[in-house]
Amino acid sequence: MATTGAYLISPLAEGLGTSEEAVRLILSLHSGYLLAIFQRLFLKKAPPTAYHVFYTLAGLSIVYFNFGIATYHSALSVIVNWALLHLLGGSFRSVVLSFIYNMGTLLLHYYLIGTTTYVINFTTPQCVLTFRLIGLAWDIYDGTKPPEKQSESQKKVVLNRSPTLLEVSGYVYHFGGLLVGPQFPMKQYLLSIQALTSTEEKPPISIMLALQKLATGVLYLCLFTLQTVYFPDDYMISKDFEELDLLSRWGFVFIWGRLFICKLVGVWLISEGACILSGLAYIPGTDGNPPRMDACQNVKIIPYELSGSPDEIIQSFNITTNQWLLSYIYKRMRFLGMRIVSHVVTLSFLGIWHGLLSGYQAAFLFEVAWVRGAREIDDLARRVPVSRVLPAAGVRIVQGAALVARWLFTWTVFSYMLVPFALLVADKWVKVHGLLYWGGYIAIGLALVIGPLLRLCLAPPPRAPTKEPATSSNGTPPSDSSNVDEMTTSDRQNGSVTVDIPSRHLAGPGRDENLQVAESGGRSQEDAQNLVAAYLGPSQKKLLDKFVWEKDENK
């Protein structure tokens, strides 16, 4: 535990009714704005080395202010990973050793600390740099491949050389993403340095955009304080919670979950503002497009708040971590042969990365089932033929009611999933889920079991007339996971569609457009698939294909 400035921090923490560690974290996040302003004012003509040194010293100071002598853990990780990349960079062995060292030390620290509640300690930034350093090893390894064997997403982040020690330390200790993220590749860091030291076009300071992120982040943190005061976590395991009726319990969990997650949204927005102000979030304009400042965007507020499915939440929430998992875990699991297995492995890994307590695994494995169950529900809703008995005005009313119900259901289940994520210990979260009569598991389980059966009885949602199917850059048909086509006038007249619920599907695990359906390798297996497809029909064949990978060496 840090003791720097304790005589000031302790009274402030008591006055705010929070922990000293939380106050230090929030002050550190806000200090990123002052550091960014200092950088933009006094390092305008400095060479790249000056930026690396500045970020390293600033980051080390922030970590020491928060965690004291435990700062050596992150410093040791920087030195070990640099040496590993300097000696073996570009080889697959470097990737394996980087993974073993970074994840191994993180899990060892989790085990030695052995807490049963979430606490802010040196493992908070350590888990952030774990992903960052593993991704760095992958990027250098991918850079050794011929360009034709690199995917489009890899070409944006690969490195053709091993970075210097100063580059690695500046990358890890950049104050914009040091404590709580976001994740960003080394190439983005080097690009920002190049732009900041350029004599031509420098990243705009974007003060108003940064302040907008700061203000929104502070607002979300204020909402989180309502949860700590009026909807505390421990209330769910109290006698008072047991005495509530079932509907009141679900109502409490719904409101609690909506407020609980505000702390993550708040700190991510504050961090993003510092990244914008420092220039780290800068993306140069290309092909006539203007430059952008969203390279470090970790949450899209409006899409997030309006999300009506887990896919939509994942698309707009914790974006950079989801992209990291997609690039470095999920897409590397092709050898497992099935998407569902890759999805389970990816989210199990994410749970272990958060910690060793059972609540993390329970939350993320539930997410696997929830994502797939929600897709079943959405598909069934689009097939319900209510337009046969209702006029157009009635259809619009049903659609509006369905969207509201869909939003309420999504966020209720999301809060249900957060219970183990917050309570962590099995004795606690199992008790709460039991008091809710395991409603989340039952609802998703019914969707997964009954959904495919009901689909056989309902006509597939019609599609608008299409032109000749386009092909992707590698000559394969585009993914069929695109958004559902809107209902045409003829569809309304013949009564084949009634509830058209839009669903912005996740470009991530199980929905990435580059990860399409597979051809099996053996002819007998291919013949068997064709036979099954002929029996089920083309619509059901798509459902079968979703669970198989496409063997595409170029992706």
Token pair, residue 509, equals 């695990």
DSSP string for residues in 95-139? HHHHHHHHHHHHHHHHHHH--SS---STHHHHHHHHHHHHHHHHH
C-alpha–C-alpha distance, residues 234 and 479, integer Å: 45
Q: In this structure, which amino acid lies at residue 480? A: D
**Phi, psi (deg, nearest 5) at residue 317:** -130, 130
- Please return the burial class of 483, using the count of CB atoms within 10 Å of its CB with bins 0-12, 13-18 and 19+: exposed
Sign of CA dihedral 163, 169, 172, 174: negative
DSSP string for residues in 179-196? SS-----HHHHHHHHHHH
Active site residue 318: yes
C-alpha–C-alpha distance, residues 80 and 78, integer Å: 6
C-alpha–C-alpha distance, residues 448 and 228, integer Å: 35
| Chain centre to alpha carbon of residue 250 | 26
Q: How far is CA 34 from CA 209, 210, 278, in A?
A: 15, 12, 10
C-alpha–C-alpha distance, residues 185 and 414, integer Å: 29
C-alpha–C-alpha distance, residues 182 and 546, integer Å: 31
Residue of 73, 343, 354, 433 with catalytic role: 354
**Could you tell me if 237 and 273 are in contact, meaning their C-beta atoms sit under 8 angstroms apart?**
no
C-alpha–C-alpha distance, residues 80 and 101, integer Å: 9
C-alpha–C-alpha distance, residues 310 and 302, integer Å: 15
Other C-beta atoms closer than 10 Å to the C-beta of 390 total 15
CB neighbour list of residue 322: distance below 8 Å, 6 or more residues apart:
314, 508
Residue of 66, 102, 318, 514 with catalytic role: 318
C-alpha–C-alpha distance, residues 91 and 466, integer Å: 46
CB neighbour list of residue 446: distance below 8 Å, 6 or more residues apart:
none
| Chain centre to alpha carbon of residue 549 | 22
Strand-pairing partners, residue 292, are 283
**Phi, psi (deg, nearest 5) at residue 299:** -155, 135
Q: How far is CA 326 from CA 35, 518, 533, in A?
A: 32, 18, 30
Active site residue 52: no
**Phi, psi (deg, nearest 5) at residue 179:** -90, -45
Catalytic residue IDs: 318, 354
